[in-house]
Structure 1
Amino acid sequence: MFLNNTINMFKNLFVLLAFVTVLACGSKPRVLLDEDTTTLKPSKQHEVIAKDVVSILQNYSYKKVAPSDSISQIVFDNLIKSLDEGKYYFTQADIDDMSQFRNNISQDMAKGDLSSAFYIFNKFNQRAIECLEYALKQIDAAHDFSKEEKYVSFRDKLDWFKSDQELKDHWRKRIKFDLLSLKLTSAEGKDESAKHKETLKKRYSNLLSQVKKTNSNDAFQYIMAAYTDAIDPHTTYYNPAFAQRFNEDMSNTLEGIGARLQLENDMVTIKEIIAGGPAYKDKTLKIDDRIIAVAQGDGEFEDIIGWRLDAAVAKIKGPKGTVVRLKILPAGQDISAQPVIVKLTREKIIIEEESAKKTIKTVKGDDGKTYRIGVITLPKFYIDFEGYRRGDPNYKSTTRDVSRILDTLNQEKVDAVVLDLRNNGGGSLQEAIELTGLFIEKGPVVQVRGVRNDVEVHEDRDNSVKWSGPFAVLINRFSASASEIFAGAIQDYGRGIILGSPSYGKGTVQSAVDMGRFISPTDKLKIRAAGATKDQDTPVGAPEFGQINVTIAKFYRINGSSTQHKGVHPDIEFPTQFTADKYGESSEPAALPWDQIKSTNYSKIADLTSIKNKLKELHDARMKNSDEYKFLLEDIAEFQKMQNEVTEISLSEAQLKKEREDNKTKNRNRINRLLELHNMPLWKEGEPQPKVEFDFILDESLNIVKDFVNLLAKK
């Protein structure tokens, strides 16, 4: 059984198009008539697919949810949020108008009626066009940069605009901020205002052109995502073009630098760093960093704020060996912050080659003894499935690679082993089971409950154990699926200790199904007679009616507890900026809940309760006197403060310039404080920003494992 259970954090990757900046801007809403050439309309294919997707999720998925008033309300909210997540576009009057569909949009879709959903999309599209045109006019308007005004760039925590005038004023300030930001990049005393205006005109003209190219397939993808997200965050419908790209793992992977992206508040946001790629090796890019501009080699930067995701990807990917420079707005910082420039050399990312790697770390104990600890870093649970099927005796897999590493670590007589599963989003279920078998004698590893509530227990049947010594597993918020199965089994058996922060909580299984299997022959004839509406770039061989990735099963630990929603909680927990309310399965409103089934018949290897309590005492004592731990807590508090508050930006040139200089100084002081803690040379003004690669979580985990070795020896 081979299941690709990688986190579906990129599910809206293809969906969100990002029409940036503006909308109503003072104009009165138009009635969208059928003969209006700007109105997008659903095709016969869209109507049939919508009806069948609703039926599939009602009758065949794990959750089995029927359309209803309550589901309609969620679908409505999802659609509004996907179109205007930052609350830049719609006024309260727009929301009031569209609310007439709030209680019946899902029931309409069950009948193949998409009129209300397309009405909402068309209203958004219309507003975007009107206000991009308004924005272009504002570029040449007079702006007083000596006047003190405040601008809020991210409005998601604010109310909808109360009036057209309030909306217009927001976008007047947006253009003023854009011009002021460009002005502050000019050399001292140099007037480049004409150049800056041309830069903005090019940016907004490009955005306007993208909006006008929006077609009914784009609208349908938004609408179906709003519905499937209301049922389950891992269930997705992809139209033919998107389905082909998804299956080829192309559009959702940034060829060249190795990162998965998503659009948030009109910005291309990094959601996953792919192990083995340039971004992974460089160590500069982090989760939730935003890419705001791209340059080819040493060329000029091109602004990509508000671009469609596919257009942004086209700028970033490129031939192997070429250089791309990215202008990055670091995670947690406001749009007024000083961007960081990251220079990467593109490579061809072959995901199957994300192999396990080992290092041996040394840690000194209080008694002066040196402990040697083998650290195995595992970025995903992989297998060469084709080689396995062919019977290739040398096929590559996670278990085989880790087994060889453990042989080496045994020969080198390490005192303990740590398996680092941080940021491991999952992969092959079978590999998670077999990898567990390297550390335990045979026994159950995971339970899977299907749509008919039948439970299947998956076991390791190999008696051999590759490592029987002290063992620890390191996880974080982005350890998911197969990672959680492995960590949960190790914890349940008492085979080792779990360190880090709570995992993602993805305990569901998806299956990709060609929609053509569900559409009746009669409906297929009707669709073809009407002329299927496809993107002009739909690849040859794409599924004619698209594809649905639907949840079909749920994972449970051997103790009966689901890994869904709650994830795996470490025995010794480290603080993290990635909180459960914003990251992971628990942040998804429609996620399946945690529940419990009957425990399997298994025997614990050891009861580590007393040892875990002692390890925590020793860890807490170290943290009381750790300057690095205090630094970590302060860093997390600052990150969360930035995330939770509504930041107002000054539009006074003198004040904004001062704020930026203060932020640069604050950032330099922060980095220097960290460098000082490690007795490293300080970062001086005028020098390039140094790369800071200290891993406090791993370092302290090694101290905990050293204590673990001692306590086991005494016991």
Structure 2
Amino acid sequence: MPDACQPMRYMTNFIFRALLTALLLITATPPRASVAADAYLAPTQTQQQAAVLITHLMSKYHYRRTPLDDRISAAMLDRYLESLDPNRSYFLAEDIAAFEKYRTELDDSLLRADLYPAYIMFEIFRERLRQRVDQACALLQEEFDFDMEESYRFDRSDAPWARDRAELDALWRQRVKNDFLGLRLAGKADAEIRETLRKRYRRLETRTAQINAGDVFQRFMNAYTAAVEPHTSYFSPRTSENFRINMSLSLEGIGAVLQNENEYTLVRRIVPGGPADKCGQLHPGDRITGVGQGAAEEMVDVVGWRLDDVVDLIRGPKNTQVRLQVLPKDTGPDGPARTIGLVRNRIVLEEQAAQKSVIEVNTGAEALKVGVIDLPAFYLDFEARARGDQDYRSTSRDVRRLIGELQAEGVDGIIMDLRGNGGGSLVEATELTGLFIPEGPVVQVRDAGGRIEVEKDPDPGVAYSGPLAVLVDGHSASASEIFAGAIQDYRRGLVIGEPTYGKGTVQSIIDLDRMMDPPGEGLGQLKVTVAQFFRVSGSSTQHRGVMPDIPMPVIAVDDDERESGNDNALPWAEVRPVRYHAETIGPQLTEAVRLRHQSRVESSEAFRLLAEARDRQRELEAVKTVTLNEKHRRAEQEARKQERLARENRLRAVVGLPPRDSEPEEWTEENAVVEEEKKEDPRLDVVLQESARVLADLVELAQVPPSRVRTAGNGKDILPD
């Protein structure tokens, strides 16, 4: 999350450089004579020094203070093997059995800066991969029978390791057949398919051969950090540079955060305001399988590529086009792929800035105007503020201006739309909260030493005191959760939507080179968790997130996609509450609004369709096998495509829009009509429409004295006496 890297002020003074230098000299282990440096990768002295630094920082200064022991050693082994072979497609059961000797030894080895176990396991992996590539290329010379009834288990993440080479041979025969069928369904000729797959497999071998000692070290150290906590990680010098670029947005790209999953490049998050966000057709969970430059250049197959190489291919000069071949998350594991055309651009503050709109809600007695402030991120132009620029951009400044404009338009209430907002500046989260409360604390921050610092509203004034709602979803995280939690604790407004992501931790970046005396070179960086957020009520936003006052029945993000789904995530916790003054939205009024909302949703065809789409998506995600019968596979793909189109057209009919005839095969910024229609006609955003009705209920019921609010006889509605 963007606000993960907070200033070092939450950290204690770490280490005396002279002491560390002496420690490095004592613990650095010389290379073993038994390992031939010209034949195998081996750790360098720099990596051994970095390992000593990392283990010391992790054990002494990480928020969790986890000792490096046998328990961590066992987790390290599992995570390292998973990082090498996540789909269990290369190692044999006998290899895994041989690696068991390391289960309780990796902690001791790491404390001695003995990194050789990681390199030994990697070399065995590389040899197994060479064997599989040779087999795959040989299989391409054969003919496949796509009429026979056969299925392929593409997700082997929790499958047993192959007992022997014969079993692995059978698995790879099915894999190659599946790859072949996938390209055939995409319209490629058999000769072209054989050449494409031959290049794909040989490229996999070549890129694995190009993995250097630094890559192995980074993978191994991240097996250690992930065994402690998911937001702590080590960056090699090359990865550090990519991280710097991503944080500063200094290179043009598409505005998407990517990660490796098995041999695919997976879209993890869409950056607000970027080309991908504007196009609206690239989503978290989509898998990028090809990258093409310009409008006509040949699509390069990137299955099996290193992540940084895929990123390099996607980046490019501003205003140039890049085409992505994507397996969408909602099409199932076997495609079909679609092509998305994007124009590279620099992501600037103006593109992420808050925007406003107005929704009219007919309550029967009158029409109420609900203002909506869409906030994609908590941003602050630090450089402009440091220069003394009086007009620097920030979230709180922009929202204050938009509030004034909405009040001038006569709105009866305001919704702060934080869906998809992954966080940003802690300062801005605090100042934004201050626009809606007179004064008081906003968030508590506890560091690794147990010290608590309270961030308070810096401005005693209030920009808006009227009816307020905060709309959140499972992607609302960190700074978003601080704001939503504070509004909820103060009872200043209603939180609507689904439980938020649940990231309530603070990370700092440590440049390992600067920890040396004299400064070193090429040690990389450590992103380490150093603090945790707590609400003014004392409850943590970590793990559980913020639970909405008015839950929406459509859950866009499942629990395993939230913080709670991360292995070793810090648990929920609480501290003493701080003194603050709550506002006027009490539990009786909240329950009244909730029951009205529930009554509407139970009879809503639009929400039924959204729930149907959610359930269908979950069904597809649970599938781990695909048929290798071409006729059946084509029929399944067409059925899913027609099912999606029919569901979309039913929703369009409900909100009063004409139906679509078909889905476009290639999505570009010009034909991404669904997202454009959402911007031009908010009726398609069913959740936002219902949120506006919820706020209208709050406006209406808040005018009724609490003593006159009662539950209707059927328990479905709240009415004034």
1:419 is matched with 416
The reply to whether residue 671 of structure 1 matches residue 672 of structure 2 is no
Q: 1:254 to 1:644 in 2, by over 3 A?
A: farther
Deviates more, 1:578-587 or 1:481-490: 578-587
What do residues 245-266 of structure 1 show as CA deviations (whole Å, max 9, x unaligned)?
3123279998432111111121
- Deviations along 1:146-191, whole A, 9 cap, x unmatched? 222111222223222232212111111111122222333448xxxx
Q: Partner amino acid for 1:617?
A: L
Structure 1's 37 and 250: CA in aligned 2 closer, same or farther, altered over 3 A? farther
In the alignment, structure 1 residue 695 sits paired with structure 2 residue 682: no
Aligned match for 2:547, one of 548, 569, 574: 569
Following superposition, the deviation at residue 577 of structure 1 comes to 4.7
CA distance in 2, matches of 1:572, 1:320: 43
Residue 553 (structure 1) shift:
1.2
Query: Does 1:200 pair with 2:197?
Result: yes
Kept in 1: contact 2:474–2:562 (CA 8 A): yes
Query: Corresponding residue for 1:270?
Result: 267
User: What are the equivalent positions in structure 2 for 1:381-400 lying under 5 Å apart?
Assistant: 381-400=378-397
609, 612, 623: which one pairs with 1:634? 612
User: In the alignment, which residue of structure 1 is the partner of 2:303?
Assistant: 305
TM-score (norm 1): 0.89
Q: State the match for 1:651 in structure 2.
A: 628
SS in 2 for 1:569: coil
Instruction: Find the counterpart in structure 2 of residue 551 from structure 1.
Output: 529
| Residue of structure 2 equivalent to 1:560 | 538
Deviation at 1:500, TM superposition (A): 0.9
What is the alpha-carbon distance in structure 1 between the residues aligned to residue 635 and residue 687 of structure 2? 35
User: Match for residue 714 of structure 2?
Assistant: none
Q: Which among 448, 454, 460 is matched to residue 457 of structure 2?
A: 460
Match of 1:4 in 2: 3
Pairwise CA distance, 1:42: 0.8
Name 2:151's counterpart in structure 1. Answer: 150
Contact 1:129/1:212 (CA < 8 Å) preserved in 2? no
Residue identity opposite 1:433 in structure 2? T
Matches within 5 A, 1:468-617: 468-519=465-516, 544-579=522-557, 581-617=559-595
Deviations 1:648-681 (A, max 9, x none): 2222222222222323322322322222323333
Counterpart of 2:439, as a letter, is K
Structure 2 counterpart SS, 1:659: helix
Secondary structure of 1:129's counterpart equals helix
For residues 60 and 696 of structure 2, the distance between their equivalents in structure 1, rounded to whole angstroms, comes to: 53
Instruction: Quote how far apart the aligned CAs of 1:285 are.
Output: 1.6
Q: Aligned partners of 1:316, 1:696: CA distance in 2, in Å?
A: 33
Shift of 1:593: 1.4
Which residue pairs with 1:20 in the alignment? none
Partner of residue 18, structure 1: none
Q: Tell me how far apart the structure 2 counterparts of residues 580 and 48 of structure 1 sit (CA, whole Å).
A: 41
- Counterpart CA distance in 2 for 1:687 and 1:458 is 49
SS in 1 for 2:372: strand
Of 128-137 and 257-266, deviating more is 128-137
AA of the residue aligned to 1:677: V
- Tell me the alpha carbon deviations over residues 558-592 of structure 1, each in whole angstroms, 9 at most, x when there is no partner: 01111111111110112455555411211122111
CA distance in 2, matches of 1:295, 1:625: 46
Any idea what the Cα deviations from partners look like across 1:221-273, whole Å, max 9, x if unmatched?
A: 10011111111211111122222331232799984321111111211111111
One-letter amino acid of the structure 2 residue matched with residue 660 of structure 1: Q
- Alignment counterpart, residue 359 of structure 1, candidates 341, 346, 357: 357
- Secondary structure, counterpart of 1:714 in structure 2: coil
State the partner residue of 2:174.
173
SS in 2 for 1:294: strand
Partner of 1:714: 704
Q: Is the 8 A contact 2:249 2:346 kept in 1?
A: no
Deviation sequence 1:281-317 (CA, Å, 0-9, x none): 1112221111112222133322211111122222222
Contact 1:148/1:651 (CA < 8 Å) preserved in 2?
yes
Question: What is the alpha-carbon distance in structure 1 between the residues aligned to residue 34 and residue 552 of structure 2?
Answer: 57
Which amino acid is the alignment partner of residue 647 of structure 2? R
Q: Give CA-to-partner distance per residue, 1:14-64, whole Å, 9 cap, x none.
A: xxxxxxxxxxxxxxxxxx972274521111111121122111111122111
Q: 1:253 to 1:111 in 2, by over 3 A?
A: farther
Q: 1:577 to 1:705 in 2, by over 3 A?
A: closer
Looking at structure 1, the residues matched to 317 and 298 of structure 2 have their Cα atoms a distance apart, in angstroms, of 19
CA 1:309/1:351 → structure 2, altered by over 3 Å: closer, same or farther? farther
Question: 1:91: which partner in 2?
Answer: 92
Paired residue secondary structure (2:488)? helix
Following superposition of structure 1 onto structure 2, how do residues 123-138 of structure 1 map, counting pairs within 5 Å?
123-138=124-139
Residue aligning to 2:694: 704
Pair 1:288-2:282 in alignment: no
1:331 alignment partner in structure 2: 329
Task: Quote the offset at 1:554 in angstroms.
Answer: 1.1
Residues 162 and 281 from structure 1, CA distance in 2 versus in 1: closer, same or farther, beyond 3 angstroms? same
For the residue of structure 1 that corresponds to 2:614, the secondary structure is helix
Aligned to 1:14: none
Identify which range, 206-215 or 290-299, moves more after superposition. Answer: 290-299
Tell me the TM-score normalized by structure 2. 0.88
Computed over aligned residues only, the root mean square deviation of the Cα atoms, in angstroms, reads 2.3
Give ranges in structure 1 of 5+ residues lacking alignment: 8-31, 529-542
Distance 2:178 2:448 in 1: 53
Q: Distance in 2 between matches of 1:599 and 1:695?
A: 37
Q: Tell me, what secondary structure is at the counterpart of 2:259?
A: strand
State whether residues 46 and 522 of structure 2, in contact with CA within 8 Å, keep that contact through their aligned partners in structure 1.
Answer: no
- The residue that corresponds to 1:111 in the other structure is 112
Distance of aligned partners of 1:85 and 1:299 in 2 relative to their CA distance in 1, 3 Å threshold: same
* CA gap 1:393/1:402 in 2 versus in 1, 3 angstroms: same
1:290 partner letter = R
User: Quick one: distance in 1 between partners of 2:555 and 2:112?
Assistant: 44
* Secondary structure, counterpart of 2:430 in structure 1: helix
- In the alignment, the residues of structure 2 paired with residue 69 and residue 270 of structure 1 have an alpha-carbon distance, to the nearest angstrom, of 34
Structure 2 distance, partners of 1:329, 1:685, is 18
Q: Residues 239 and 547 of structure 1 are in contact (CA less than 8 Å); yes or no, is this contact kept in structure 2?
A: yes
For 2:651 and 2:159, locate their aligned partners in 1 and report how far apart those are by CA, in whole Å: 35
Q: In structure 2, what residue type is equivalent to 1:328? A: V
* Cα distance between partner residues in 2 of 1:153 and 1:177: 9
Structure 2 unpaired stretches of 5+: 7-32, 676-683, 706-721
Indicate the SS of the match to 1:262: strand
The equivalent position to 1:621 in structure 2, one of 588, 595, 599, is 599
What is the distance in 2 between the residues matched to 1:321 and 1:520?
Answer: 45
Contact kept, 8 Å, 2:61 with 2:448, in 1: the verdict is yes
